[in-house]
Amino acid sequence: MSVLHLAILLPLLAAPFIPFLFRAVKRIHTGWFVLVVPTLLFVYFFRYIGITSDGGVVTETVRWMPSLGINFTAYVDGLGLLFALLITGIGALVVLYSIYYLNKDKESLGHFYVYLLLFMGAMLGVVLSDNMVVMYMFWELTSISSFLLIGYWYEKERSRYGAQKSMLITVFGGLSMLGGIVLLESMVGSFSIREMVANQAVIVDSPFFIPAMILILLGAFTKSAQFPFHIWLPDAMEAPTPVSAYLHSATMVKAGLYLVARMSPVFQESSLWLWIIVSFGTFTLFWGSFNAVKQTDLKGILAYSTVSQLGLIMSLLGLGAAALHYDGVDDNIFMVATIAAIFHLINHATFKGSLFMMVGIVDHETGTRDIRKLGGLMTVMPITFTIAVIGSLSMAGLPPFNGFLSKEMFLKATTKVFSADFFALDTIGLLIPVVAFIASVFTFVYSLIIFTRTFMGKAQFDKLPKQPHEAPIGMLIPPAILAVLVVVLGFIPNVLSNTLIRPAVESIYPSLVEGGQAVEVDLYFWHGITPELLMTIGIVALGTVLFFTLNKWMGIYNRVPYRLTLNGMYDGSLVWSNKAAYRFKDNYMTGFIRSYLIYIFVFMSGMLLFSMWWYEMFSFSFGEMAEVTPYEYVLGAVVVLSAFAILFMRSRLPAIILLGVVGYGVALFFVFFEAPDLALTQLVIETVSVALFLLVFYHMPEIGKKEARMRFKVGNAIVAVLVGITVMMLSFMTLSNKSISSISEYYKENVYDLAAGKNMVNVVLVDFRGFDTLFEIIVLAVAGLGIYTMIKFRTTAQRTKGEDEHGHEAKK
Amino acid sequence: MKRHVRASNLMLHSITRVVTFVLLAFSIYLFFAGHNNPGGGFIGGLMTASALLLMYLGFDMKRIKKALPFNFTTMIAVGLLVALFTGVSSMLFGYPFLTQFFDYYDLPVLGTTELSTALPFDLGIYLVVVAIALTIILAIAEDDS
């Protein structure tokens, strides 16, 4: 257990103490204690920058299940460290923000911070684990803790709905990912990601390459809210705003991006990888930005905006895979895609975090997040307004903010597809910059909506639940820090390039780095009149036009009926699967023993006949059969006739007596076949059971006694005949395929010498096989005691309630 | 079932007295004959049970209860314990569970007789069977509802 392990597990270790602190220290907001954890971790991880920026990695292993190859291997490289810093840094800001956001007297903070710390620890585990099973474990812990956080206000129905939706979708993806992990392990023989990267050639040649890739991508796409799995993210906005800011903008939704980046060295040789990621990412980029415009809830806009930006980063990660195939070694233009992806990942975390916190402030101070009610807050909340403007413009990709830089790099990367002469990128790839351009226009529109509708325009304070005023300073600090970062990173982006971005990009291209290609990250503000700058000007122009004509074209959103939307299909499928399962169950679980007996009999006969046919066991030989005597013919006829006659009896009494005839007939058979002990026992037992049958008959209600003879049912007859034939065939088959001689010779020879008895049956029962007998008398004892208790200890309730009524109730 | 008819049934009473002894004797014969001839604990037990049952049929419940002061449910446990003890006793001498032994002895009246541990095991079976049969039948018979 190294310090690194302790650091990863620190949030998880701290979590159990939170409820006690919450209860013991009432005077101080519990968040202050929690704040220590991410701050410490941030400082701790900050020190790793020195190691990773020189290309170094830190690996520490704790043996967990070595026999299964599952060890907790902490692995810090550029990519992992970048995420760790995001998680702890934004985590600290979010905790600080939540101290002012959540009321310590009204909210159950004990729960909130436990969930949040669980989540933080889980995220750290995901990004710093080298072992994929351990990573999967942390991955699912993020799903669970985010489920708990989304459903934090569990008395609200929408919260529960959102929590369930996100749980179903992300766990679906998580389980798919587990499948992919298992497939990868079967190819490489190790769960370690580094091993997989090292054996990348083996994986690419394996027939399971594509299934494994798709399964892993399912996990990444569901977690990162890619189309069509993005639908959980807008519903997760029911969570408290600090949670939305932390989970649904900066960290958890980026776990999928992390996974894609992490697995890129394994999969990116394949063109399928590039195409899947780029097409899903690009479409998500468009779809998210398109849908964000129609939202009226500020958090809804931000949710779709997050979806869109995640799609952007995803498609950049996909485009980055092209770098491996690009021949112009000296200036690898596709490398810029990955650099842009990493840079935008950081930028998005900063501006989206600040925007969420800004929305939280607006919600907190006015009581609503509906843009139709808000307006004119600029004068009342100037600081919040400033933060909103910086965040929105950065999101829209305008200078001088950091969003502009990453957006430019994105556009540059998309326009570069024309110069690629592989994977048909130069032809079909034409769509990529077009879609990117359209999506950017919509991004510009909704970014404008966010701050103009909230802060500008006519003030309508009378519609607001609360009288608005500026937020307390503590609530403003975290978004202000993020906004400052947005500006600082916009002006001097190169502080990041060698410390965070280059190490991260290098860990995505281990093969290129080994091949001697240098990853050069040089971020600078002005790069002359380039095509992407012209595109940005076009975006701003078109976006402005669209923004001012918004009312004219909003109608297109209502064209699609709800049933056909993705949310409609999700809800429909939930209802449908529930209904279908019930219908399926109701169809065969009829509640009648008759039906179940038919299933059992048909299955049994079917399986037996099928296996007899399959193994060609239908060869019967009757050579070893003994001769049948006339007595046996007569007796056989009597038994068969009386058994058959039972079916046609009008009343039950003759049926019971005929059953007795069958029993005594069998006893006679035992006599013929020289089994005196059996004959004796059969006679007595048959007598007793007929007497018991008569007793039951005597106590039957009048209706049952009068019932006419059994109704004929074709299905039952067929099943009965089938079972009869099956059993007959089985007996003939076993008789004619006897391959092992009987053990009875041994008994015959030794019965007197070893056991001093002449009655072999009895000696077998009490001596050779006495153990069976011991348990048979126990069976008898249990049966007897059962009958005794059933009769003697009936409760009064059962006695008063009619059997029918009871049965009816039970069925309901 | 129809108890009032049985009030003064002299024929039944007299025959029951005689037949019961014959049945009991036969059942004991079956029990002891088991090792070498058809019979044994199971059928012997059933025969004893039917003899006792005949007594119950011939007379009324109360009188037979007085004459046979057994608790049949306890008897089940006793029978099981006897059978189990025979099995365990062989373990005390270092043999596997339920190893049976036999030897020949000169007994005062019977002469040279074979005694085997299979007999107490059979006795356990016998007791359980008698007790079970009577428990079931008496429980049903005493049920009023």
Model confidence pLDDT, tens digit, residues A13-38: 888 888 888 888 888 888 888 889 99
CB contact under 8 A, A799 and B37: no
pLDDT at A383 over 60: yes
Banded pLDDT at A516 (limits 50, 70, 90) = low
Instruction: Give the Cα separation of A230 and A227 in Å (integer).
Output: 5
- Check if the beta carbon of residue A124 is closer than 8 Å to that of residue A11: yes
CA distance B10 to B15: 9
Q: Is the pLDDT of residue B1 over 80?
A: no
Q: What is the model's pLDDT at position A426?
A: 65
pLDDT tier at A811 (50, 70, 90 boundaries)?
very low
CB A143 within 8 A of CB A188: no
Give A794's contacts in chain B (Cβ within 8 Å): 145
In the prediction, which pLDDT does A517 show?
A: 67
H/E run at residue A614:
helix A593-614
Of B100, B125, B143, the CB nearest to A777: B125
Nearest CA distance, B93 vs chain A (angstrom): 17
CB within 8 Å: A771 and B98: yes
Residues of chain B contacting residue A759, judged by C-beta atoms under 8 Å apart:
33-40
The residue type of A359 is V
Q: Which of A509-518, A750-759, B47-56 has the lowest mean pLDDT?
A: A509-518
pLDDT confidence bin for A657, thresholds 50/70/90: very high
| Chain-chain contact of B73 with A787 (C-beta, under 8 angstroms) | no
What per-residue confidence (pLDDT) applies to A546? 86
User: According to the model, what pLDDT value does residue B136 have?
Assistant: 87
Q: What is the DSSP letter of A149?
A: H
> Residue A267's pLDDT is what?
86
Residue B16 Rama label (left phi>0; alpha psi -120 to 50; beta): alpha
Task: Assess whether pLDDT exceeds 60 at residue A344.
Answer: yes
Nearest Cα of chain B lies from the Cα of A768 at a distance, in angstroms, of 9
> What's the rounded Cα separation, in Å, for the pair A283 and A392?
22
B120 touches chain A (CB under 8 A): no
**Which amino acid is it at A641?**
L
Q: Mean pLDDT, chain A, as a whole number?
A: 84
Residue A328 confidence class, pLDDT cut points 50, 70, 90 = low
CA quadruple A624, A626, A632, A633: dihedral sign? positive
Q: What is the reported pLDDT for A796? A: 56
Nearest to A340 by CA among A283, A399, A279, A414: A414
Residue closest to A237 by CA, chosen among A389, A356, A112 = A356
Give the mean model confidence (pLDDT) for residues A605-613: 90
On whether any CB of chain A is under 8 Å from the CB of B48, the answer is no
Say what the pLDDT of residue A48 is: 87
Residue A400: cis peptide before it, omega within 30 degrees of 0 = yes
Pairs of CB atoms within 8 A across A/B: 123
Chain A contact set for B97 (CB, 8 A)? 771
Q: Is B58 on the interface with A (CB under 8 A)?
A: no
**pLDDT above 90 (res A736):** no
H/E stretch holding A76 reads: strand A70-76
User: Is the pLDDT score of A151 beyond 50?
Assistant: yes
Distance separating alpha carbons of residues A122 and A135, to the nearest angstrom: 9
Query: Min CA distance, A791 vs chain B (Å)?
Result: 7
pLDDT, tens digit (0-9, with 9 covering 90-100), for B76-135: 999 999 999 888 888 888 888 888 887 777 777 777 777 788 888 889 999 999 999 888
pLDDT of residue A803: 47
> What is the amino acid identity at position A670?
F
The mean per-residue pLDDT over the stretch A138-157 comes to 91
Task: State the smallest CA–CA distance between residue B100 and chain A in angstroms.
Answer: 6
Residue pLDDT, tens place only, B19-33: 999 999 999 999 988
Please list, in sequence order, all residues whose beta carbon lies within 8 angstroms of the beta carbon of residue A673, skipping any fewer than 6 positions away: none
Distance CA A394, CA A305 (A): 13
Q: Which residues of A touch B139 (CB under 8 A)?
A: 787-788, 791-792
Flag whether pLDDT at A194 surpasses 80. yes
Q: Bin A629: left if φ > 0, else alpha if -120 < ψ < 50, else beta.
A: beta
pLDDT of amino acid A499: 81
Q: What is the mean pLDDT of residues A502-531?
A: 73
CB < 8 Å to B33, chain A: 759
DSSP for A432-477, please give it.
HHHHHHHHHHHHHHHHHHHHHHHHSS---GGGSSS---PPPHHHHH
Position A362 scores a pLDDT of: 86
Nearest to residue A314, comparing CAs of A189, A422, A230, A389? A230
* Window 16-35 of B, Cβ < 8 Å to A: 30, 33-35
Average pLDDT over residues A373-381: 81
Whole-angstrom distance, CA of residue B36 vs CA of residue A760: 8
pLDDT of A422 = 65
Confidence grade of residue A707 (pLDDT, cut at 50, 70, 90): low
Residue A808 confidence (pLDDT): 44
| Preceding omega of A228 cis (within 30 degrees of 0) | yes
- Are the C-beta atoms of A288 and A311 separated by less than 8 Å? yes
**Gap between the terminal Cα atoms of chain A:** 56
Q: If you count DSSP H runs as helices and E runs as strands, how many of each does chain A have, helices first?
A: 38, 2
Query: How far apart are the C-alpha atoms of A47 and A123, rounded to whole Å?
Result: 19
Distance CA A237, CA A163 (A): 10
For residue A94, give both structure tokens: 């979010």
Beta bridge partners of A370: A297
Quick: pLDDT tens for A546-567.
888 877 777 777 776 666 678 8
Q: What is the pTM of this model?
A: 0.80
pLDDT band at A806, cuts 50/70/90? very low
pLDDT of A215 over the 90 cut: yes
State the best of A688, A693, A767, A772 to mutate against chain B, taking most chain B CBs within 10 Å: A767
CA distance A190 to chain B (A): 49
Is the CB of A759 less than 8 angstroms away from the CB of B34?
yes
- Rounded to whole angstroms, the Cα distance separating A491 from A486 reads 9
* Model confidence band, residue A171 (pLDDT cutoffs 50, 70, 90): very high
Q: Are A758 and B35 within 8 A, CB to CB?
A: yes
Residues of A near B (Cβ–Cβ under 8 Å) read 676-677, 680-681, 684-685, 688, 692, 695, 698, 755-759, 761-763, 765-767, 770-771, 773-774, 777-778, 780-781, 783-785, 787-788, 791-792, 794, 799
Query: Inter-chain contact A757–B36, Cβ cutoff 8 Å?
Result: yes
